Structure 1
């Protein structure tokens, strides 16, 4: 099962009043495993951005002025997405903007049924608790210290980790398969995820590591962890 974890940044809140997409980021998952394939694009919004947009996104109209317009990247974006489900935090917002941009180009909209809304999943799992991306990172112990500004690709990468935790952990289906490794129906090669381009940072503290080493030391020279 192929999914795209997606995020957009925009000039405002409503495409019907002229707001546009200025950045798109996406991370590909296959059977809930990151493949290493990503999509990232800055977009010229063809309009001025309010000052608060500069501060939130760390962008400016000068920076975006030489970037392609949505019409120039629309097909490449759709080719990357393909027919995959779109995992989005507050999906109604991003889908509204994506489909507005496609409508202005007389292109078919992306069916809303393809959206997997992690905000709704979080509210269902943890009713009454904060469900922002930052709050969920704190809940699951996910490092989002690099998120000083809103950036579409970084937010997509963080959301991918949050999503996997929301649906039951890093490997919710345990990777079970009835197909032989390396081959699929008719002898076709089965897809396998590529190595991560960079290792994930450790999620244990120095104190936890020291406590573990002290515990192992008490077990003697035959401790399994020393083998």
Structure 2
């Protein structure tokens, strides 16, 4: 699982043909919770949640771990997430939590990561690994927020729960990593299934949505 010293990696197939059908791909949908948004400075990871999507179906394969932030959780974060200090004091370090998450990704032979406002979650992982003097190779990834903007460019910005209501998908426990990952996974599957009407059926088609606006039927 682990590559050369101070580089964290996992065994994934990076050589998928662009013609690979999306229904033949495996996705890891994940989310993080943190002590706040100042990830570059003092805020830290406190939870990772993930779910496996295969054949454009949300599976029952899930992952959840707390992470010890080595600092107090602010009261407003506890109020928002219900994550208390007692949940994290004996939790794995951020590095160990991320290693465990990567093992989940590898075990499920994931081809791509999915998230809602994905840049924040990947930045959380990147910063925590930097603190531990590790780096990692970012896999192919897609952001449900960005995908919605591509297929519905005139839609005003909404939060995750509002998007789920708009698309008629399931809503799980909010502001918890696994709950938001599950909500995002069902939303992602619905977005892709609707996008089939616009010819978005392969990895190449999905990659092209990063450069092209689509109209959702």
TM-score, normalising length: structure 1: 0.68
1:156 aligns with 2:181: yes
Cα drift, residue 81 of structure 1: 1.7
Q: With CA pairs under 8 Å and 6+ residues apart, which has the higher RCO, 1 or 2?
A: 2
Pairing of 1:25-174 with structure 2 (within 5 A): 25-82=49-106, 84-111=111-138, 114-126=140-152, 127-144=154-171, 146-147=172-173, 149-169=174-194
The 2-side partners of 1:38 and 1:79 are apart by 12
The 1-side partners of 2:58 and 2:119 are apart by 24
Residues 57-98 of structure 1: CA distance to partner in whole angstroms, max 9, x if unpaired?
101223321211112333222121236311000011001101
Cα drift, residue 141 of structure 1: 1.8
User: Given the superposition, is the C-alpha separation of residues 141 and 35 from structure 1 closer, same or farther in structure 2, using an over 3 Å criterion?
Assistant: closer
Contact 1:23 1:152 in 2 (8 A): yes
Cα drift, residue 170 of structure 1: 10
1:18 aligns with 2:42: yes
Q: Secondary structure at the match of 1:128?
A: coil
Cα drift, residue 29 of structure 1: 1.2
Contact 1:103 1:109 in 2 (8 A): no
User: Given the superposition, is the C-alpha separation of residues 143 and 74 from structure 1 closer, same or farther in structure 2, using an over 3 Å criterion?
Assistant: closer
User: Given the superposition, is the C-alpha separation of residues 123 and 61 from structure 1 closer, same or farther in structure 2, using an over 3 Å criterion?
Assistant: same
Cα drift, residue 169 of structure 1: 4.4
Larger radius of gyration: 1
The 1-side partners of 2:178 and 2:50 are apart by 6
User: Given the superposition, is the C-alpha separation of residues 110 and 97 from structure 1 closer, same or farther in structure 2, using an over 3 Å criterion?
Assistant: farther
Q: Secondary structure at the match of 1:164?
A: helix
Q: How many residues align?
A: 171
For structure 2, the 5+ residue unaligned runs are 1-24, 202-217
Q: Secondary structure at the match of 1:39?
A: strand
Q: Secondary structure at the match of 2:145?
A: helix
Residues 29-64 of structure 1: CA distance to partner in whole angstroms, max 9, x if unpaired?
123223321111011111112221111110122332
